[in-house]
Amino acid sequence: MISLFENYENLIELTQGSARGDQAIAFCPCHDDSNPSLSISLTDDKILFYCHSGCSQSELMRFCRNNNIQIGGFNAL
Ligand SMILES: [Zn+2]
């Protein structure tokens, strides 16, 4: 099983994000994003994300599932 941090790094790589510690800004994979609008945060037990253009959590979670990214606590929901 890979660590949450490795999942975080994989997600950033997939979304061409740039990370500063446990925060990253990336291209949202759920809409046609020309200006990075996806915020990603790594917490102790989960990866959080927020699209500033309004993509839903369920769309983003589906992207993660389809790409085998485990995002921690959220997956239990
Ligand atoms: Zn989006």
Residue-wise over 15-33: b if at least 16 C-beta within 10 A, else e?
Answer: bebebeeeebbbbbbbeeb
**What's residue 77's pLDDT?**
39
- Ligand 1 centre to CA of 21 (Å) is 22
Q: What is the pLDDT of residue 1?
A: 77
- Separation between Cα atoms, residue 77 and residue 29, nearest integer Å: 22
Q: What is the 72 CA–ligand 1 centroid distance (Å)?
A: 20
6 CA distance to ligand 1 middle (Å): 22
Token readout for 23 is: 């925060």
pTM: 0.89
The CA distance from 23 to 53, in Å, is 18
* Chain-centroid distance, C-alpha 21: 14
pLDDT at 36 over 70: yes
pLDDT at position 9 is: 97
Tokens of 49: 């994300």
Per residue in 43-72, pLDDT tens?
A: 999 999 999 999 999 999 999 999 999 998
